Amino acid sequence: MAKKVKIGQIGLGRLGYDHAKNTAFLVPGAELVAVCDMDEALVKKAQEELDVPYGYTSYEEMLKNPEIEAVTVISSTDLHPDHVKLALEAGKHVFTEKPLGGSVEKCKMAEKAVEAHPELKFMIGFMRRYDHSYQLAKKKIENGDIGRIIMVRSYSQDPIWNIEGAIEYGPKSGGQFIDMSVHDIDLIRWFTGGVPAKSLWAIGGCFEFQEYKNWNDGDNVSALMQLEDDTMAFMFAGRAAAHGTNVETEIIGTRGTLRIGSVGTDSMLEVLGSNGVCRECYTDFQIRWRDAYVNEINEFVDCVLTDRQPGTTVYDGTKSLELALQLRESFETGKMITL
């Protein structure tokens, strides 16, 4: 029988439970042997439904389990760095969801923990890098198919049906730029080879859901950024798209353009009715990125099994958060920031 990586997961919220199901059933090289969450009922549910032998409400206790070789951290953002550090110090390989943390200081702490354990694998979950369409785009860029990149344009919109949940999460989300645009920031860095930014400007407002004013945030925000080599980037993030989850990315080059997700649908189905011809959209981000979430854990597990380091590093987490925080500062002050 082929070796499997024995994984323990912390965090069984909405995304966490999906991660647990993926690890248990859709990642051939993994075996989910433990789950941890403060909610004991969720732990028991996961154990029963996913056939997981060990369940914990204490993360420290889970890390003492000698059977666990790797940990997937799907906890709240502010706890990611601490959970990463504790797992590495316990001798476990680590995968963590984005963002790496809620502050640069905490991210630097995670960096030091990773650097102190070069024998272990660490990976951060920027799942869009593991989406088939985005990987094809990256290859075409590397092949020089579109020439030099002029601009990266990106839209990230959540569906309005989940606005109550988004508002409830608002106070601890870190804001639009950290919670949503961090994915677009990572893609910009990935497509351009990590060219640093030299200036940025963020704007937006509360166009319908005034609750976001309480957190110095907006329900719809945008930003313009210029890199040191003059490449431009535009980002838009919204909480309440009427048509469902919508993610678009366009990479404009001197010799061509790549466009991903201009029609947000997971099938070729068209509905012909009294309202005309319609194509249904993705209902939420978990459906849009379903395969990417599986692919990233497959990649993490394969890195452990083949003893290689993942392409997405702890430094990618820090750099993306730094830019997201600077965008938030620009949004709050109304000023362009020169870096």
In a domain, 77, yes or no: yes
In a domain, 269, yes or no: yes
Residue 280 is predicted with a pLDDT of 77
Residue 283 is predicted with a pLDDT of 79
Beta partners for 180?
Answer: none
Among 89, 120, 151, the domain-final residue is 120
Same domain, 264 and 241: yes
Residue 286 is predicted with a pLDDT of 84
Q: Which of 46, 56, 52, 14 is nearest to 30 (CA)?
A: 52
In a domain, 251, yes or no: yes
Tell me the residue range of the domain where 111 lies.
Answer: 5-120
Same domain, 84 and 137: no
Count structural domains, the chain: 2
What is the per-residue burial (b if ≥16 Cβ within 10 Å, else e) of 157-173? bbbbebbeebbeebeeb
Q: For residues 88 and 82, give the distance between their C-alpha atoms in angstroms, rounded to a whole number.
A: 10
Residue 263 is predicted with a pLDDT of 60
Residue 267 is predicted with a pLDDT of 77
Same domain, 112 and 136: no
Residues of the chain where predicted confidence (pLDDT) is lower than 50? none
Domain containing residue 255: CATH number: 3.30.360.10
Same domain, 281 and 230: yes
Residue 1 is predicted with a pLDDT of 66
Beta partners for 9?
Answer: 35, 72
In a domain, 325, yes or no: yes
Write down the H helix ranges in the chain: 14-25, 40-50, 59-63, 80-89, 104-115, 132-142, 163-173, 176-179, 181-192, 285-288, 290-306, 314-333
In a domain, 258, yes or no: yes
Same domain, 69 and 40: yes
Give the dihedral sign, CA 240/243/246/251.
negative
Same domain, 116 and 133: no
Same domain, 214 and 333: yes
Q: For residues 189 and 143, give the distance between their C-alpha atoms in angstroms, rounded to a whole number.
A: 17
In a domain, 293, yes or no: no
Residues sharing a CB contact under 8 Å with residue 263, sequence separation 6 or more, in sequence order: 279
Same domain, 179 and 33: no
In a domain, 313, yes or no: no
Among 91, 120, 149, the domain-final residue is 120
Same domain, 152 and 106: no
Among 64, 85, 120, the domain-final residue is 120
Residue 145 is predicted with a pLDDT of 98
**Do residues 55 and 34 make contact, with C-beta atoms less than 8 angstroms apart?**
yes
Residue 287 is predicted with a pLDDT of 86
Helices 80-89/104-115 angle, 10° precision: 10
3-state secondary structure of 150: strand
Which amino acid is it at 204? G
Same domain, 328 and 217: yes
Residue 281 is predicted with a pLDDT of 80
Same domain, 271 and 163: yes
Q: For residues 280 and 288, give the distance between their C-alpha atoms in angstroms, rounded to a whole number.
A: 12
Q: What is the secondary structure of 208-238 as a DSSP string?
A: S-GGGGGGT--SEEEEEEEETT--EEEEEEE
Beta partners for 231?
Answer: none
Within 10 Å of residue 303's Cβ, how many Cβ atoms?
20
148-200 pLDDT, tens digit per residue, is: 999 999 999 999 999 999 999 899 889 999 999 999 999 999 999 999 999 99
Residue 262 is predicted with a pLDDT of 62
Same domain, 105 and 254: no
In a domain, 69, yes or no: yes
Beta partners for 94?
Answer: 71, 122
Within 10 Å of residue 60's Cβ, how many Cβ atoms?
10
Domain containing residue 18: CATH number: 3.40.50.720
